[in-house]
A and B are shown apart, each in its own frame.
Chain A
């Protein structure tokens, strides 16, 4: 039998039993759609996190107080129960590093802001002028924090866009006085609207000099030190220098953690990549289930069409021809199901993107290809047994069954 004839024969057989065909196509399409949508979610999460990290700034090295597990277990650290705090002087010392371009100390806390009888809770970030450069913050109006002695801190604030609107409405905020905690500060700048950043909504942020923030929160420690390396290739040098300088200042103890954006990114990338893979694996199970359903449908088809198989044999069909005809039918069911599932999945991912615009829910190519290939492979694999059963039927018995 010629190949196009086998395909036509299989197609006619499939369309001759619409309910049965629809059922297996549906099962297969749900399996493939699940793969497409779930991997779109997983990969969307990965892209989202990476996008957020990238928006933190470029060539970034971050210093956190305390030793994290990444360097291996050090008994000396285990004995010193409380890690040494990071101070403004620590931050200033980092400027000595030859690979280091900029340094910004960071203190974070929440406080209340009031002006003109309005009062609201805000996130307060205490930092320095270089913070704006490191994080690529642009100003809608006014200017950034002034370059000044980090230990002094003039009574000024830069406010987020939304805070500005809520407190001053359409009036210009520049030059106005606000009260933050027990301090009166003059607004010198308003940030451009940016939206959600990683864990910190800059539209609802107030940025003040670091010394002021420490006084406000009554502490002299830092939450983070942000370090910008001179170039992309200088990142690892900057990391080493920051580590060395702080170790020296802390009497030889490695009681800080220095992470690079790249390392964090790579970790998240791996983690969320694995998540996507796992999710794809779960979806693949539904594909296997669909394959089993196709097998059952084909077994029913073989039973229902026993007398037809007998006839084909009487008319001179070889076992191979009959096997191919039934395999082609199974392959067709899976292929149509896979295609339909692919469209459904893309539609679902599209709907997700419409509902959650910040979330880039695109299915990765590898998942789409693997999903389609698995669908076809399971269809053929599970179609094989019924096809073989049909080919091995005894022609007389088959002809007699009605």
Chain B
């Protein structure tokens, strides 16, 4: 079953009296558990697409079905609810809250969702272990290395056990080695069934994904899985694991 489905999506920005077509004629279907890399030149609309998928932005036209539900008509608070439980974000610049400790940053989505403190503590402890951050629980972001920061951010993105993780250039601010480490973490999550969509400029990183999307000028220029238009009848691929 498709986790999400975009039909004839367009996203236009109005800049003075010129219209920027950040996305146009976009049709896309992504299956649950898939691992998708989005590539393309700067300004081709990758981030705009990711923001739409993450319900941070609304399309100017077209429809977006997430887990079978049309989310283009939801209220802002309903969208927030979907983001809270179904979607995790990993950003290039980490986006940790500077005054909160690593543990508090990881707990933040649960805090916002009103999950009781005892359960938060238990899940954060688990996550700190999973991401090798046991000794960093009480450190603030400025006391962490870049790789550690991104690991905190990934722990935070997964703490609500979302169905979909969106990562916009997650290794963009990291060196090769720590970048690889972060990618491995994300791929492990995908191995456990979470759908992973990564925007990247790095071809070797993009090549690791099961499916590659190439954007240009706001359009889907190529899709390694299918030729556009022939997707509907094809059965979902078995969710085989990918060598990490």
Binding site for B on A (CB under 8 A): 1-2, 5, 9, 12-13, 15-16, 307-308, 311-321, 395-396, 399, 402
Contact = CB atoms under 8 A, between A and B. Distances in A.
24 contacts: A1-B111, A2-B111, A2-B114, A2-B116, A307-B95, A311-B95, A312-B108, A312-B112, A313-B56, A314-B54, A314-B56, A314-B83, A314-B89, A315-B89, A315-B108, A315-B109, A315-B156, A316-B83, A316-B112, A316-B113, A316-B160, A319-B80, A395-B57, A396-B51
Contact of B77 (A12, A13, A307, A319): A319
B69 interface: no
Contacts of B91: 399
Interface of B: 51, 54, 56-57, 76-77, 80-85, 89, 91, 93, 95, 97-100, 108-109, 111-114, 116-117, 156, 160
A13 B99 contact: yes
Given A316-B80, A395-B57, 17 more contacts: A1-B111, A2-B111, A2-B114, A15-B99, A16-B98, A311-B97, A312-B108, A313-B83, A314-B89, A315-B83, A315-B109, A316-B112, A316-B160, A317-B84, A318-B76, A318-B81, A399-B91
Contact of B93 (A15, A313, A395, A402): A402
B169 to A, nearest CB: 13
Contact of B112 (A308, A317, A395, A402): A317
Contacts of B57: 395-396
Given A311-B95, A312-B112, A316-B112, A395 B56 contact: yes
Contacts of A16: 98-99
A237 B89 CA distance: 87
A316 B156 contact: no
Contacts of A13: 99
A321 B112 contact: yes
Contacts, number: 69
Contacts of A321: 112
A399 B99 contact: no
A395 B100 CA distance: 21
A313 B97 contact: no
A230 to B, nearest CB: 73
Contacts of B117: 5
A316 B100 contact: no
Contacts of B112: 1, 312, 315-317, 321
B80 A5 contact: no
Contacts of B84: 315-317
A2 B117 CA distance: 9
B199 to A, nearest CB: 14
Contacts of A307: 95
Nearest to B84: A316
B29 to A, nearest CB: 24
Given A315-B83, A316-B80, A396 B109 contact: no
- In order of increasing CB-CB distance, the 7 nearest A-B pairs are A316-B84, A16-B99, A316-B83, A395-B56, A315-B109, A318-B77, A318-B80
A320 B112 CA distance: 11
A399 B111 contact: no
Contacts of B156: 315
A312 B96 CA distance: 10
A396 B81 contact: no
Nearest to B104: A12
Residue picked from B51, B76, B97, B112, most chain A C-beta under 10 Å: B112
A12 to B, nearest CB: 5
A13 B56 CA distance: 24
B61 to A, nearest CB: 18
A316 B109 contact: yes
Nearest to B83: A316
B97 A5 contact: no
A317 B97 CA distance: 14
Nearest to B51: A396
A316 to B, nearest CB: 2
Nearest to B98: A16
A148 B24 CA distance: 117
A12 B85 CA distance: 25
Residue picked from A2, A308, A316, most chain B C-beta under 10 Å: A316
A318 B75 CA distance: 11
A327 to B, nearest CB: 16
B100 to A, nearest CB: 7
Contacts of A2: 111, 114, 116
A205 B35 CA distance: 103
B118 to A, nearest CB: 12
A318 B91 CA distance: 20
B154 to A, nearest CB: 13
A394 B95 CA distance: 16
A21 to B, nearest CB: 12
